[in-house]
């Protein structure tokens, strides 16, 4: 790879990282009830079915409880295993699994160098944190460190 190609790749990764961070900041809920989870999960499942995607969808609370899960035609146990690895990455790193991958690529490090077992974690697209902002009585929403978090995987 030439120096110019390397610079272009790093610039592209830096842009992607900015977009990923922005998405994580914007993808927040003022409430995230069981009904909200059902509606979001169902909408995602209907989209996957319409597009004939062989994916599995899971929405898990930060506690690890699976609040919604659906497997499209063509999925198997491997999809479940991948979702658990992505969920672990999102929960422990508090960022999307794609953002984790992008940060590693930019830093030039591997999962192994960060002591992340690739059989326990997945640094690739598909795992995303869904935050619930805490709202005060005036409906001004805050994003404190100790907020309710969930993760969405496919």
How far apart are alpha carbons 99 and 141 in whole angstroms?
A: 24
* pLDDT, tens only, 106-152: 999 999 999 999 999 999 988 988 877 654 444 433 333 334 456 66
Stretch 56-76: mean pLDDT = 92
Q: What domains lie within the chain, and their CATH numbers? A: 3-153 (3.30.450.150)
* pLDDT, tens only, 109-118: 999 999 999 9
Question: Taking the model in full, what pTM does it have?
Answer: 0.80
- Angstrom CA distances, 52 to 40, 44, 45, 75, 131, stand at 18, 12, 10, 11, 29
Looking at residue 21, the DSSP 8-state letter turns out to be H
* pLDDT, tens only, 10-32: 899 999 999 999 998 888 888 88
Which residues fall within 8 angstroms of residue 5, CB to CB, at 6 or more apart? none
- What confidence score (pLDDT) does residue 53 get? 95
């Amino acid at each position: 790879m030439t120096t110019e190609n390397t610079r272009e790749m790093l610039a592209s990764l830096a842009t992607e990282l900015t977009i990923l961070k922005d998405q994580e900041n914007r993808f927040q809920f003022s409430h995230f009830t069981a009904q909200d989870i059902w509606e979001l999960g169902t909408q995602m499942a209907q989209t996957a079915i319409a597009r004939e995607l062989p994916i599995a969808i899971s929405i898990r609370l930060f506690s690890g409880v699976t609040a919604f899960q659906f497997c499209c035609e063509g999925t198997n146990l491997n999809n479940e295993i991948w979702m658990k690895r992505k969920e672990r990455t999102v929960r422990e790193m508090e960022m999307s699994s794609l953002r984790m991958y992008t940060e590693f690529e930019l830093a030039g490090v591997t999962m192994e160098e960060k002591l992340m077992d690739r059989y326990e974690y997945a640094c690739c697209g598909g795992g995303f944190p869904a935050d619930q902002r805490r709202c005060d009585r005036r409906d001004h929403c805050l994003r404190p460190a100790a907020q309710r978090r969930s993760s969405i995987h496919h």
